[in-house]
Structure 1
Amino acid sequence: MSRQGLVLAGATLLVAVTVASCVTEVDGTAQPPANHAVAGNTDAASAAPSTGSTGATGSTGSERSGSQGAAEVADPGECVRGGDPAPIDCDEPHTVEITASGTFGGAMAEKPPARDEVFSAVFPSCRQEAAAYLGSDDYDLTTLSAWLLWAGEDAWARGERWYRCGVAELDKANEAKQRTGSVRNALRGDGVHTYRLCSFTAPSEEPPAPTPCDRPHRGEAVAVVPMGKHTDPLPSEEEFDAAAVEACEKAVTTYLGGAREDVAAAWRWPDEVAWKRGFTNLTCYAQTEAPVTASLRGVKESPLPR
């Protein structure tokens, strides 16, 4: 659903609803999509990526030893590669950096939980852990995303009940890219701009497609607007819209260094499923009619970079 043609302070405002978060299956680890977050199911070599998740339960602590035959599982501050939960040094090539550890209990202890159960129980807390680990609540403006992996069916049968929250850097396919070095506190200071999400697609028309900001793109994420808690009712379209009109117009003007008619404010918001999984921000974007080839931050009255 989208609307166009609202005019405020000389800028055209484009509104778009974020559809349900996408889900991708891979063997190994959970991964995130364009609206930033993920979840997945993992055995020593089996996991699944998807977007969003909600709730928070489970105790913290390592399951490094586990039951006989249990796989070695990375702890906070360590990294993993692909579908293997074994720890590796973050200076080595890896895909996910672990931010928090926990174990499932209660009703989930007897049989492997369904994916939705895991999302409900854990992912909102993984999003909070990602913000604390990265050093900013604004990480939805970046290509860094929360991640989740947990013991798969075979591991569950061995008595393993671990899960791990993590963070990953997304590539243009919204998959966890291989990288080296830690991202702990990477978004402090000017870090958000270093990892800023630029989109090849127009955010008002379709979900953002990450691309480097020095490559042709039509959208740049500029601000997040908190809209509540995942335990609250999903705001109405009118409520999202009202919050976005003022906040996103102002955010885009500030980002550009002044109002201009050839850059629009656009925004996207979560649907009910994503909301319950912890995606409770409205995200504002600066959007152009034609692709630009460099960041618009501080462009002021200069010609747009084509």
Structure 2
Amino acid sequence: MLRTWSCNNALAGYLGSPSSGFARILAQPVPASTDPNAAHQIVCAAAVTKPDDSGYEEISYRLKNRIKDKGYTNYRICTSDRPSKTDSPHIVPCTQAHKAETIGGYVIGKADGKYPGSKTVDKRALAKCVPLAKTYLGGARGDVIASANSTGKSGWQRGTTMTACFVEATKGTFTKPLKGMKNKPLSAYK
């Protein structure tokens, strides 16, 4: 649990952005059985998932400061359903029509495995995600809203105390990133 939490917590600093959690770039602890110094250190590996979440991409570039230098939108995760309406939204490539896209994410809990309950988690998550969505979109909207999707009790018990922040269309779909859309109609992002 501590190893997973530590890697998730370190990822944002490694990628160069405090809100870079829940991108296609993931952090994983190197298994203690393969690390001869596991009793004294935690080693984390970072990898990029494929856009459809079917495995990992083979990359030939460094991930350090990748979000800071290249931006989040290239690594966002898109879903065919609304994260505010399901605990497990279906991930699709962002080139396909989708209803939501991640805009970042945060570690919102401690590594103690104590799940504070869904209402507390939702409150913490939205406190982070609503301002991030407003900045991402360039203002508040009614047809595209902020939402969050957090790991449940079992995730917290494994050390994954993160929340994904999304912007989601209340009606319709889109294929282009909504970053900076301001007052443009959603139809401009098809």
Question: 1:141, 1:192 within 8 Å by CA — same for their partners in 2?
Answer: no
SS, match of residue 123 in structure 2: helix
Question: Is residue 275 from structure 1 mapped to residue 156 from structure 2 by the alignment?
Answer: yes
Question: Is residue 221 from structure 1 mapped to residue 102 from structure 2 by the alignment?
Answer: yes
Mark the runs of 5 or more structure 1 residues left unpaired by the alignment.
1-53, 56-121
The alpha-carbon distance between structure 1 residues 139 and 174, as it changes in their structure 2 partners (threshold 3 A), is farther
Letter in 1 for 2:62: S
Question: Is residue 299 from structure 1 mapped to residue 181 from structure 2 by the alignment?
Answer: yes
Mark the runs of 5 or more structure 2 residues left unpaired by the alignment.
none
* Residue 244 (structure 1) shift: 4.1
Question: 1:267, 1:282 within 8 Å by CA — same for their partners in 2?
Answer: yes
Would you tell me which structure has more strand in proportion to its own residues?
1
C-alpha RMSD of matched pairs (Å) = 2.8
* Residue 219 (structure 1) shift: 0.9
SS, match of residue 181 in structure 1: coil
Question: Is residue 169 from structure 1 mapped to residue 48 from structure 2 by the alignment?
Answer: yes
The alpha-carbon distance between structure 1 residues 213 and 246, as it changes in their structure 2 partners (threshold 3 A), is same
Give identity over the alignment, percent. 28
Q: What CA deviation, in whole Å up to 9, does each residue of 1:154-201 have, x standing for no partner?
A: x8xxxx857753111111134212222221221225522332222233
Question: 1:214, 1:295 within 8 Å by CA — same for their partners in 2?
Answer: no
* TM-score after normalising by structure 1: 0.51
Q: What CA deviation, in whole Å up to 9, does each residue of 1:194-217 have, x standing for no partner?
A: 322222332222524444434322
- From 27, 51, 55, the counterpart of 1:146: 27
Question: 1:174, 1:210 within 8 Å by CA — same for their partners in 2?
Answer: no
User: 1:167 & 1:269 partners in 2: Cα distance?
Assistant: 20
The alpha-carbon distance between structure 1 residues 190 and 200, as it changes in their structure 2 partners (threshold 3 A), is same
User: 1:136 & 1:278 partners in 2: Cα distance?
Assistant: 21
For the pair shown, the structure with the greater C-alpha radius of gyration is 1
Q: Which has the higher contact order (CA 8 A, sep 6+)?
A: 2
Question: Is residue 184 from structure 1 mapped to residue 51 from structure 2 by the alignment?
Answer: no
The alpha-carbon distance between structure 1 residues 262 and 132, as it changes in their structure 2 partners (threshold 3 A), is closer
Q: How many residues align?
A: 181
Would you tell me which structure has more helix in proportion to its own residues?
2
* TM-score after normalising by structure 2: 0.77
* Residue 231 (structure 1) shift: 1.3
* Residue 223 (structure 1) shift: 4.1
Question: 1:268, 1:283 within 8 Å by CA — same for their partners in 2?
Answer: yes
